[in-house]
């Protein structure tokens, strides 16, 4: 495979990352963003761009090796590019989840496949209350070297 193709695939895979939380100081039933994150993973695997973008605040920031995406519309576009490549079987594993006031900080690992080739990386995210919803305010995603 050409180096340019590999870079394009890796960049698109970064776009697939989204945060999930593992309880660190909270019990699973007390985690206010767990449902939002479960819905995000389900939306990703069925290709529902609107539901994926809705997991982010209107002015969210998403940082990936392929760029910095500011605002829900730009973030939606980044996910559209990732899905266009055929990424599938998206999963995440929360490693750390900490609460401070209205903020929740999460870090963990994501995985996805392109064809039968697995890819993975890591993320951090800040999750906040946005009206009556819990949404991602900031996310940084990386791709691990295969």
Its pTM surpasses 0.85 = no
Q: What is the predicted pLDDT for the residue at 16? A: 42
Residue 11 is part of a domain; what is its CATH number?
3.10.450.50
Q: Is residue 24 part of a domain?
A: yes
The residues facing 5 across adjacent strands are: none
Q: What is the predicted pLDDT for the residue at 30? A: 54
Q: With contact defined as beta carbons under 8 Å apart, do 11 and 66 qualify? A: yes
Q: Is residue 42 part of a domain?
A: yes
Q: What is the predicted pLDDT for the residue at 139? A: 97
Q: With contact defined as beta carbons under 8 Å apart, do 92 and 124 qualify? A: no
* Containing structural domain, residue 25: 3-141
Averaged over successive runs of 10 residues, the pLDDT of the chain (146 residues) comes to 43 41 43 79 94 96 94 96 89 90 92 92 93 92 88
Helix (H) or strand (E) holding 50: helix 49-53
- Which residues, in sequence order, are CB contacts of 135 under 8 Å at separation 6+? 36, 54, 55, 56, 57, 60, 127, 128
Number of domains in the chain: 1
- Which residues, in sequence order, are CB contacts of 105 under 8 Å at separation 6+? 96, 97, 98, 99, 124, 125, 126, 127
State how far the Cα of 136 lies from the Cα of 59, in Å rounded to an integer. Answer: 10
Q: What is the predicted pLDDT for the residue at 132? A: 82
């Amino acid at each position: 495979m050409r180096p340019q193709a590999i870079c394009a695939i890796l960049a698109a895979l970064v776009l697939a990352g989204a945060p999930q939380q593992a309880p660190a100081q909270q019990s699973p039933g007390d985690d206010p963003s767990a449902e939002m994150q479960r819905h995000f993973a389900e939306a990703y695997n069925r290709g529902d761009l609107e539901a994926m973008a809705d997991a982010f605040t209107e002015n969210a920031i998403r940082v990936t090796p392929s760029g910095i995406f500011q605002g829900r519309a730009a973030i939606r576009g980044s996910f559209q590019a990732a899905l266009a490549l055929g990424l599938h079987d998206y999963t995440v594993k929360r490693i750390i989840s900490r609460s401070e006031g209205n903020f929740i900080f999460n870090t963990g690992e994501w995985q996805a496949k392109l064809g039968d080739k697995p890819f993975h990386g890591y993320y951090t995210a800040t999750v906040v209350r946005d009206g009556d919803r819990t949404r991602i305010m900031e996310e940084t995603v990386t791709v691990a070297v295969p």
